[in-house]
Every structure is written in C-alpha cells, then in structure tokens.
C-alpha cells in the first residue's frame, strides 16, 4: 500500500470513529462520546496540517476546525460537571446538566458538524485528483518539514520562561497530535512522546482549575470552591513547570530558529 493509500485509509478510519461518537452522543449512551468526537476531529486536523494550504484540502480542514471551536465550550462544561459530581455537589451539577444537553443538541443539529460530514464524504475525490496530477510528489518530505518546524516552535517556547502557559498548552497538544499522526516522519522517540503526554496532562489540569476559578467570579454558586481550585491550579502548574524543565533537556534542540511563535491558536 502506498503512502497516499495509507493516508486516505487513516482519514476514513477517523471518519468511522466520528460517526460512532456522533451516534453515541445522539443516544447519550456514555459520558465520553463528545470527548471521543473531539479527538477524532483533532486527529483529522493533525493529518491535514501539512497540507492545509492545498486547495483540495482546505474545505475539510476548515470544517474540522469549526467543529473543534463549536464543541469546546460543551466539553469544558462536561469536565466542570464531572468535577462537581466528584465532589458530591449534585445541586451544582444538575442545573448545568440541562445546559449541557442543550449544547449537545446544538452540536448534533448544527451546521458545523453537517459540513464536516459532507466534507469527509467528498474529500477523497479531491485528494486523488491531486495525486493523479503529481501533486503529492515529495509528500513525506513535506510532512517531515512541517513536524520539524512544529517541534522547533515548541522547543523555543519551552525555553522562554515568559511564554504564556495557555498558549504553550495548545502548542504541546498540537505537537503531540501531529507527531502521533505521522510517527515514521517524526523526530521524536516514543519516550519523548511520553514527555509531551505528561506535559499536556499537567498543563491541562492546571488550565481546568484556572478556568474554574475564573468561572467562579461570574457564577457565584461556585465561589466557595474557588480557594480549593486555586490551590490545585498552583500545584498543577508547579508540576507542569517541572515537566517543562525535563522537556527542555530531552526534546530535540532548536534548529536555529530564534523567533517565537506568534500564537499557538493559528
């Protein structure tokens, strides 16, 4: 099987996972359906990242990005509700559960998800047309270049103590998914990928507690939890900083690029 065939098969496999997650979300069978849907979307975006400027890839790439943006608030609310339930606070969790169900309906019936499903159905035709015209010559070299630049940006950001930790969390997540999407083209070893996974976990834990503290400012029923969350945020950030030090030592060094990434969100 050629690299192009494997690439198409990978995207189609993720499409199947996306259909499965959507069906589970519709049926409300479990609490991980939205999370799994978002992971499938993120992995599709990672696979497309080296080719996001290719016209035939843009529609699918943009549709996946739109679903990612639309589903973020709902996923954040899911995590908050789980936190409240874990703390045995159903009186705080249940009112938010209704809002979450409304968000589920908006996602399932919304235009972004429908556009993504349509784009996934039509995408292989565009990909194959580029292939027939020789547009994928040097495809693996292009992937390697994209990954090297991404790892380079991450390393530069890690070495800068003043780099915004929210932006850094996004950079770590993006780098991890990109390197996992193309393991044979990645300069990272399995142990280095584990470093990224641990760093993402620590920064994610800090981010969640930080966001909850901010939410408590406007949602007064959460205010009593703010000191506990603030303490957890501080300890999570401390752990993340320790792992950042480890990552700075063990991840591949910068290839000489000195300019910091403007924004991880781009």
List pLDDT tens digits, range 85-117: 999 999 999 999 999 999 999 999 999 999 999
Tokens matching residue 171: 């950079």
Alpha-helical (H) ranges within the chain are 3-27, 33-48, 55-86, 90-109, 111-132, 139-159, 165-181, 190-218, 226-250
Provide the percentage of residues in the chain whose pLDDT is more than 90.
Answer: 66
Provide the 10 A C-beta neighbour count for residue 218. 8
What's the pTM?
0.88
pLDDT band (50, 70, 90) for residue 257 = low
pLDDT of residue 266: 47
pLDDT of residue 206: 96
Is the pLDDT at 265 greater than 50? The verdict is: no
pLDDT mean across residues, the chain: 90
pLDDT of residue 141: 86
Calculate mean pLDDT across residues 160-166: 92
Task: Report whether CATH 1.20.120 matches the domain 1-137.
Answer: yes
pLDDT tens track for 6-54:
888 999 999 999 999 999 999 999 999 999 999 999 999 999 998 877 8
For 36-43, the CB contacts below 8 A with 24+ separation are: 37/71, 38/68, 38/71, 38/75, 40/14, 40/15, 41/67, 41/68, 41/71, 41/116, 42/68, 42/177, 43/14, 43/177, 43/180, 43/181
Residues whose CB falls within 8 Å of the CB of residue 65, separated by 6 or more in sequence, listed in order: 45
Of 192, 261, 205, residue with least CA distance to 233: 205
The CB-side HSE value for 249 (13 A sphere, CA atoms) comes to 6
pLDDT of residue 130: 84
pLDDT tens track for 43-82:
999 999 988 778 888 999 999 999 999 999 999 999 999 9
Inter-CA distances, 60 with 111, 178, 231, Å: 14, 17, 41
Give 4-67 as a DSSP string. Answer: HHHHHHHHHHHHHHHHHHHHHHHHT--TTHHHHHHHHHHHHHHHHGGGTTSHHHHHHHHHHHHH
Provide the percentage of residues in the chain whose pLDDT is more than 70.
Answer: 94
pLDDT-wise least confident of 25-29, 146-150, 226-230: 146-150
pLDDT of residue 263: 54
Q: Cα–Cα distance between 175 and 161 in angstroms, integer?
A: 19
pLDDT-wise least confident of 40-44, 194-198, 211-215, 224-228: 194-198
pLDDT of residue 247: 86
């Amino acid at each position: 099987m050629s690299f192009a065939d494997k690439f198409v098969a990978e995207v189609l496999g993720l499409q199947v996972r996306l259909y499965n997650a959507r069906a589970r979300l519709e049926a409300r069978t479990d609490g991980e359906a939205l999370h799994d849907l978002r992971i499938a979307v993120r992995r599709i975006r990672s696979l497309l990242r080296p080719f996001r400027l290719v016209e035939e890839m843009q529609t699918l790439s943009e549709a996946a990005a739109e679903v990612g943006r639309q589903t973020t608030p709902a996923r954040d609310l899911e995590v908050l509700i789980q936190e409240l339930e874990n703390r045995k606070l159903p009186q705080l969790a249940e009112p938010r559960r209704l809002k979450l169900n409304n968000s589920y309906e908006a996602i399932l019936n919304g235009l972004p998800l429908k556009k993504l499903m349509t784009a996934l159905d039509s995408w292989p035709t565009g990909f194959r047309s580029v292939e027939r015209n020789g547009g994928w010559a040097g495809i693996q070299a292009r992937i390697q270049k994209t990954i090297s630049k991404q790892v380079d940006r991450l390393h530069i950001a890690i070495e800068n103590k003043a780099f915004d930790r929210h932006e850094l969390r996004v950079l770590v997540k993006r780098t991890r998914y990109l390197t996992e999407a193309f393991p044979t083209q990645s300069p990272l070893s399995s142990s280095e990928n584990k470093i990224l996974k641990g760093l993402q976990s620590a920064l994610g834990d800090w981010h969640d507690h930080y966001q909850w503290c901010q939410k408590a400012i406007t949602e007064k029923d959460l205010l009593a939890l703010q000191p506990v969350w603030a303490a957890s945020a501080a300890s999570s950030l401390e752990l993340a900083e320790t792992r950042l030090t480890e990552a700075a030592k063990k991840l591949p060094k910068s290839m000489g690029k000195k300019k910091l990434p403007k924004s991880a969100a781009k």
